[in-house]
Amino acid sequence: MLRNIFIKRINSGKTQRGYPPIYRRVTSSRVLQISAVLLIAFLLIGLAALSFGSARIDLTRVFGCLFHAMGGSQSCSPQDELILFSIRLPRIFFAAITGAALSLGGVVFQAILRNPLADPYVLGVSGGSALGAIIGTLIGAGSFYLGIPLLAFLGALITVALVFVIAGGGSGRIPDNYLLLAGVIVNAFFSAAILFFLSLADSMELHSITFWLMGDLARVSGSGIIPAAFCVLVAFVMIYSQARGLNLMVQGEETARQLGVMVEKTKYTLLIITSLATAVVVSLCGIIGFVGIIVPHMMRLLFGSDHRLLICASALFGATFLVVADTIARIIIAPAELPVGVITALLGAPYFIFLLRRKAF
Partner 1 sequence: MALLEAKEIGFSYGEKQILTDVSFTLDSAQVTAVIGPNGSGKTTLLKIINGTLFPASGEMLIAGRKTQNWPRRELAATAAIVPQETPAVFPFYAEEIVLMGRFPHLSGLRFEGDGDYRIVQEAMRQTDCLSFAARRFAELSAGERQRVLIARALAQEPQVLLLDESTAFLDLKHQVHFLNLLRQLNETQKLTVIFVTHDINLAAQYADQIIMLESGKIYAIGNSAEVITADNIKKVYEVEVLVDCNPQSGLPRMTIVK
Return residues touching partner 1 (CB under 8 A).
Answer: 14-15, 17, 19, 22-23, 25-28, 110, 114-116, 172, 240-241, 243-245, 247-248, 250-252, 254-255, 257-262, 300, 304-306, 308, 361
Which residue, 26 or 69, is less far from partner 1 as judged by CB?
Answer: 26
Least distance between partner 1 and beta carbon 112 (Å): 12
User: Which ranges in 58-206 belong to alpha helices (H)?
Assistant: 59-69, 78-81, 89-113, 125-138, 147-166, 176-200
Which residue, 253 or 326, is less far from partner 1 as judged by CB?
Answer: 253
Which residue, 48 or 233, is less far from partner 1 as judged by CB?
Answer: 233
Which residue, 115 or 274, is less far from partner 1 as judged by CB?
Answer: 115
Which residue, 130 or 293, is less far from partner 1 as judged by CB?
Answer: 293
Which residue, 172 or 350, is less far from partner 1 as judged by CB?
Answer: 172
Q: Label residue 355 exposed, middle or buried (CB < 10 Å: 0-12, 13-18, 19+).
A: middle
Least distance between partner 1 and beta carbon 259 (Å): 5
Least distance between partner 1 and beta carbon 187 (Å): 23
DSSP state string for 231-258: HHHHHHHHHHHTHHHHHHHTT-HHHHHH
Q: Label residue 272 exposed, middle or buried (CB < 10 Å: 0-12, 13-18, 19+).
A: middle
Least distance between partner 1 and beta carbon 64 (Å): 42
Contacts of 204 (CB under 8 A, 6+ apart): none
d(CA 166, CA 187): 13
d(CA 90, CA 147): 22
Least distance between partner 1 and beta carbon 14 (Å): 6
Least distance between partner 1 and beta carbon 258 (Å): 5
Contacts of 292 (CB under 8 A, 6+ apart): 102, 103, 105, 106, 107, 109, 119, 120, 121, 122, 318
